[in-house]
Amino acid sequence: MKVVAIGAGKWGTNILNTLHETGNLAGIVELDESQHTTLQEKYDVPVAKTIRSLVPDSFQAVTIATPAPTHLGVGLEAIALGKHAFIEKPITLSAADAEELVKAADQAGVTLMTNHLLLYQPAIEFLGKSIREGLIGDLRSIHVTRANLGRARDVENVLWSLGVHDVAVVLDLVQDQPQDVTAVGDAFLNAGIEDDTHLHITFENGVKAHIHNSWLWPVLDRRTIVIGSKGMLWYDELNQTVTLHKKSINASLQNVNDGEEVVFEGAAKPLTLSLEHFIDCATNGKTPRSDGASARTVIGILEDASRSLK
């Protein structure tokens, strides 16, 4: 499948390089015309300012890595041309806009996928498989931390900047719909723009998720802890390992500790895996793991959390 990459900024360049390496890159759309010559020489594909300037039959899909406020318009234009669309997260800045994209893709019969990159880390796939197979018994709760010192933003808060990753992962692991969403946060650096947030989600099946995001934190901390009725899983994102803690508390309120062991280790190139998944789904009519509907749910949770923060 031939793909046109829309947007050649910092992250867009990563997508360009990956599509070029896999042999799927068919063209580039970039508003900044000063980059066109360099891009054409580097990737040896047509470069244009608009998608409509490219030969329509020369590609079947697009990737969109433009500023988030433009995702709706750019996505609708590509879908109207009958192109499958891979949109960088967040899919849009509102659930209503995400729903518009989902409906447009359904009506056009094209694949819509959002690049929730962490879902394509093998360790996350292992966590999901372990939960479904009952490795730790019944799923009870998930606790996620994504924190560091910086990079602080002056437009979106830390929940929209970092938490979008973790909400997508939690939804993928729980495999259920949210029932209640609340959040608390602190805005020390810029009034109204939270630097540190705690998001709490209760799902219809009773599972609870707690997500802590911060860019005002002394150390780099990225971990996911999954609590079950018969044990616990600790995902160390920095080292790409999953440790099984054979620990619980029994009916007599006594601690049970049968030790711990690393049950998974190994990194991959999640962007490559994500793009390969998109191309496979678009080619074979499959539903992507991070499809438009799931992305819409992510945005809905972030909107509910934002209202709670007020």
pLDDT at 310: 82
> 276: domain range?
3-116+271-290
Per residue in 37-75, pLDDT tens?
A: 999 999 999 999 999 999 999 999 999 999 999 999 999
CA angle 98, 215, 262 (to 5 degrees): 85
Residue 300 lies in a domain: no
Number of domains forming the structure of the chain: 2
CATH number, domain containing residue 84: 3.40.50.720
Q: Is the pLDDT of residue 116 over 90?
A: yes
CATH number, domain containing residue 222: 3.30.360.10
Judge contact between 115 and 274, C-beta under 8 A: yes
CA angle 62, 273, 96 (to 5 degrees): 50
Q: Is the pLDDT of residue 273 over 90?
A: yes
Residue 298 lies in a domain: no
CA angle 95, 161, 6 (to 5 degrees): 70
Q: Are residues 152 and 243 in the same domain?
A: yes
200 by Cβ neighbours in 10 Å (0-12 / 13-18 / 19+) ranks as middle
Q: Is the pLDDT of residue 154 over 90?
A: no
Q: Are residues 76 and 199 in the same domain?
A: no
- What tokens were used for 212? 């802590």
Residue 297 lies in a domain: no
pLDDT at 114: 98
Going from the C-alpha of 206 to that of each of 40, 230, 241, the distances in angstroms are 53, 17, 27
| DSSP states along 184-212 | EEE-SSBTTB-SEEEEEEEETTS-EEEEE
Q: Are residues 127 and 102 in the same domain?
A: no
Residue 92 lies in a domain: yes
Q: Are residues 257 and 199 in the same domain?
A: yes
Q: Is the pLDDT of residue 155 over 90?
A: no
Q: Are residues 38 and 144 in the same domain?
A: no
Distance CA 249, CA 255 (A): 5
Helix axis angle, 292-309 to 95-108, nearest 10°: 170
Q: Are residues 68 and 101 in the same domain?
A: yes
pLDDT at 137: 96
Residue 146 lies in a domain: yes
- Indicate the SS3 state at residue 285: coil
Amino acid identity, residue 169? Answer: V
Q: Is the pLDDT of residue 251 over 90?
A: no
Q: Are residues 17 and 147 in the same domain?
A: no
284 by Cβ neighbours in 10 Å (0-12 / 13-18 / 19+) ranks as exposed
Q: Are residues 128 and 102 in the same domain?
A: no
Spacing of C-alpha 294 from chain mean position: 10
Q: Is the pLDDT of residue 108 over 90?
A: yes
For range 250-260, the mean pLDDT: 91
Residue 155: CB atoms within 10 A of its CB come to 9
Residue 296 lies in a domain: no
Q: Are residues 263 and 144 in the same domain?
A: yes
Residue 302 lies in a domain: no
Residue 306 lies in a domain: no
114 by Cβ neighbours in 10 Å (0-12 / 13-18 / 19+) ranks as buried
Distance CA 90, CA 97 (A): 11
Spacing of C-alpha 88 from chain mean position: 8
- What tokens were used for 17? 């390089």
Q: Are residues 155 and 250 in the same domain?
A: yes
Percentage of the chain lying above the pLDDT 90 cut: 96
Spacing of C-alpha 171 from chain mean position: 10
State the Cα torsion 217-244-201-299 to the nearest 10°: 80
Q: Are residues 262 and 276 in the same domain?
A: no
Q: What pTM, to 2 d.p., does this model score?
A: 0.94
Distance CA 28, CA 188 (A): 40
Q: Are residues 258 and 277 in the same domain?
A: no
pLDDT at 242: 98
